[in-house]
Amino acid sequence: MMYFTYVVRPGDAPEGRGPSHPLFFEKFLANNLKLGFGLILLGFIGTLLCSISAGYGLQVIKFLSPFNDATIPTSVSFVFIMILIIGVLCLNVSTVLMDDDGSISQTRGYRAGCKALGQGTLVTLLGLILLIVTIYSNISYYEGNALKGINLNSIIECLFYSGIGLTSIGITLLGLAVFLIEVYSNDGTREMMGFASLGLCKLSGLLMIAALIFPSFKFLDTLFSIVVVLTFSHITAWASVFETIAMKSNIKMTQSAVRNEYYKSRNALAYFGPPVVAEGSYAQQGTM
């Protein structure tokens, strides 16, 4: 049986209501991958410098552990952890439009990468918030002796271990997201960039957990610090190139059809039901 429908293509979709003047943050929503990863890199480097100034060398995890005796460097590291959080939030915001881009012109693998990016940023954000809590308790303990006579050490240590664990999982998910977005993008950079990002993030996550479980092996903490800086340096460089050649968003905030109805209409009944039908003089196309 032959079905004839008026198919709404993404570029021909009627526009809905919107502000009279373009909002200043619309471009920011579509192009902030390199900003987010760059801020994460800056936050890690700043925290590493605080660790060095406190006498812990490259052992960042030991430096961030609860109740260390480096009050001033720990207070400064609070600022750099906040920079890390801002970077993670920038990455999370970038998924707002990336998924819509993927639904129109990209593959399922690309969209899976967008979802993995959102999940990775959420897990990383939760881990960093827990680290912020432990750092704040550290500063309060040594500056105001706020925990004197109160047995909260085990609770704070639990928050610290949870924060490190969640952050390591989040970093691994970010590597998976970069891999999927790069490899399955129609206009990616190089496939090896995606594989390198996935491998480096997995290695960073494993070293982070290993340094936490085996604190007596100091070289694990040092190796983690080196690898994580290399990891986000690589991903920031990738994001700078990827945004230039691939993140060319044609989506408007007032656009009403963001699903790829054109391709779905070729076999509409076999692909989640019939295509969108709209009033107007659109090109007529038959589907089986």
pLDDT digits (tens, 9 = 90+) for 167-215: 999 999 999 999 999 998 877 788 899 999 999 999 999 999 999 999 8
Mean pLDDT score of the chain? 77
* Nearest by Cα to 96 from 248, 235, 253, 236: 253
Hey, what are 40's tokens? 């994460």
pLDDT at 96: 76
Identity (one letter) of the amino acid at 175? G
pLDDT in tens, 217-268: 889 999 999 999 999 999 999 998 888 887 665 556 666 555 544 444 444 4
pLDDT in tens, 91-133: 988 887 776 665 566 778 888 888 899 999 999 999 999 998 8
Q: What are phi and psi of 273, to 5 degrees?
A: 90, -175
Q: What DSSP string describes 27-91?
A: HHHHS-HHHHHHHHHHHHHHHHHHHHHTT-TT-HHHHHSTT-S-HHHHHHHHHHHHHHHHHHHHH
Terminal CA-to-CA distance of the chain, rounded, Å? 7
* Nearest by Cα to 211 from 189, 226, 198: 226
DSSP secondary structure letter of residue 149 = T
